[in-house]
């Protein structure tokens, strides 16, 4: 029972880490950033570069944040900004940008799998059950991320402006809030978080030009059922991630693989606002 419970919590943590950047962008901009997968891949390669340069694997994480932030900011400035009133085109454009990121990575690093040193190896004993230390650390990361983002949204003036834009952008702009700046900052932050997630999953994932794509679908489903709230995302990660672990355990991984998508569809059918409480 203990291992299944730990699997459940760590899976939820991983899903939360992978989805939070996407949710942030969706919450503020009402835009699904399909470059999220490409940005995750970029983060994975930041970890590869840290390893190649002989740096501590932990350095890969801030390095990923910087890469993701810079690429995200440029994408927002050059492409996404002009598509704010055309959300469908924005999906297409970000998907295209994701392909471009993947191809540039392929040009620089080739198509093959690359090696990134994991920050930590081995297992520790939890209630007599040996369990992967790194997966447990990811729980701490997820909590840190949730608390950090909540504090930033609640405790800073930019956070206040961001919440205002999330609630009613026209009204916020009428009150003199620079919604363009809020969008810019949010997209940059969301992109940075995507890249950080990419770096964080390298010890569990293959680092290749397609690594982010597999995660994008789950993240997308989670965001759809969570709306724009970080709390709902946490609940959704636990419920859907948990369901995936339970189904995989008792009915096989082939069914487990489709649990998140199937359950998300059912939830949205019954309750269109998903886990969001507004």
Partner 1 sequence: MKMSMQKISVLLAVTALWAGSAVAEDKPIVLGFPLGLSGANSITAPAVVQAMELAVSEINDAGGVLSRKLVIELADSASSAAGAQKAYDSLVYQKEVDAIISSEPSAARNAGLPIITRGKIPYIYTSFYEGRSCNKYQHIDGWVPQQVVSLMVDYFMKDQGAKTFFLVGNDYAFGRGLLGDTNKYVTEKGGTILGEEYNPIDASDWTAIVSKIRQANPDVIITSTAAGAPNVTFTKQLRAAGLTAKYGSYALDEGTAKTLGPDAEGIYLGGSYYTSINSEKNAGFLKALNDKFGTETKTPNELSVPQYDAIHLYALAAAKAGTTDTDAVVKALSEVTFDGPRGLVQMSKQRHAPLTMYLAQVNAQGDTTIIKSHPNVDPGEQCPNL
Give the ranges where the chain is alpha helix by DSSP (H): 2-29, 36-52, 60-78, 87-109, 133-155, 157-167, 169-174, 179-201, 211-226, 230-251, 253-270
The correct pick among 20, 132, 161, 179 for binding partner 1 (CB under 8 A) is 132
Closer residue to partner 1, CB minimum distance, 73 or 213:
213
Query: Is residue 110 a contact residue for partner 1 (CB under 8 A)?
Result: yes
Structure tokens at 6: 């730990």
Closer residue to partner 1, CB minimum distance, 159 or 257:
257
Query: Is residue 128 a contact residue for partner 1 (CB under 8 A)?
Result: no
Query: Is residue 109 a contact residue for partner 1 (CB under 8 A)?
Result: no
Give the residue carrying structure tokens 């540039």.
104
The correct pick among 96, 249, 262, 268 for binding partner 1 (CB under 8 A) is 249
The correct pick among 27, 203, 242, 274 for binding partner 1 (CB under 8 A) is 203
Give the residue carrying structure tokens 């909540």.
150
The correct pick among 28, 105, 233, 245 for binding partner 1 (CB under 8 A) is 245
Determine how many CB atoms are found less than 10 A away from the CB of residue 193: 30
- Residue 35: closest CA among 67, 70, 75, 74: 75
The correct pick among 115, 167, 181, 231 for binding partner 1 (CB under 8 A) is 115
3-state secondary structure of 124: strand
3-state secondary structure of 131: strand
Query: What phi, psi does 124 have (nearest 5°)?
Result: -125, 160
The correct pick among 45, 67, 215, 275 for binding partner 1 (CB under 8 A) is 215
The correct pick among 189, 211, 238, 239 for binding partner 1 (CB under 8 A) is 211
* DSSP one-letter code for 207: B
Query: Is residue 108 a contact residue for partner 1 (CB under 8 A)?
Result: no
- Binding residues for partner 1 (CB under 8 A): 3-4, 7, 10-11, 110-115, 117-118, 121-123, 130-132, 134-135, 203-211, 214-215, 244-245, 248-249, 252-254, 256-258
């Amino acid at each position: 029972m203990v291992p299944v419970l730990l699997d459940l919590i760590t899976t939820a943590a991983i899903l939360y880490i992978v989805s939070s950047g996407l949710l942030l962008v969706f919450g503020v901009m009402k835009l699904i950033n399909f470059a999220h997968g490409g940005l995750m891949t970029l983060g994975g390669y930041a970890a590869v570069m840290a390893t190649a340069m002989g740096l501590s694997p932990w350095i890969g994480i801030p390095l990923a944040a910087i890469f993701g932030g810079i690429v995200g900011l440029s994408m927002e400035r050059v492409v996404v900004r002009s598509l704010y009133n055309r959300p469908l085109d924005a999906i297409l454009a970000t998907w295209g940008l994701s392909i471009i990121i993947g191809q540039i990575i392929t040009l620089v690093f080739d198509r093959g799998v690359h090696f990134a040193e994991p920050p930590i190896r081995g297992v520790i004993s939890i209630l007599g059950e040996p369990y992967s230390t790194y997966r447990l650390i990811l729980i701490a990361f997820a909590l840190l991320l949730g608390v950090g983002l909540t504090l930033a949204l609640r405790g800073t003036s930019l956070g206040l402006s961001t919440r205002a834009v999330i609630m009613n952008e026209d009204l916020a702009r009428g009150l003199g809030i620079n919604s363009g700046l809020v969008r810019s900052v949010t997209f940059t932050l969301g992109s940075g978080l995507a890249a950080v997630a990419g770096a964080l999953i390298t010890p569990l994932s293959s680092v290749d030009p397609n690594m982010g794509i597999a995660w994008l679908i789950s993240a997308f489903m989670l965001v759809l059922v969570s709306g724009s709230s970080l709390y709902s995302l946490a609940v959704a990660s636990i419920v859907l991630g948990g369901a995936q672990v339970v189904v995989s355990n008792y009915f096989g991984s082939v069914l487990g693989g489709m649990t998140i998508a199937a359950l998300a569809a059912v939830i949205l059918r019954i309750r269109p606002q998903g886990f969001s409480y507004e």
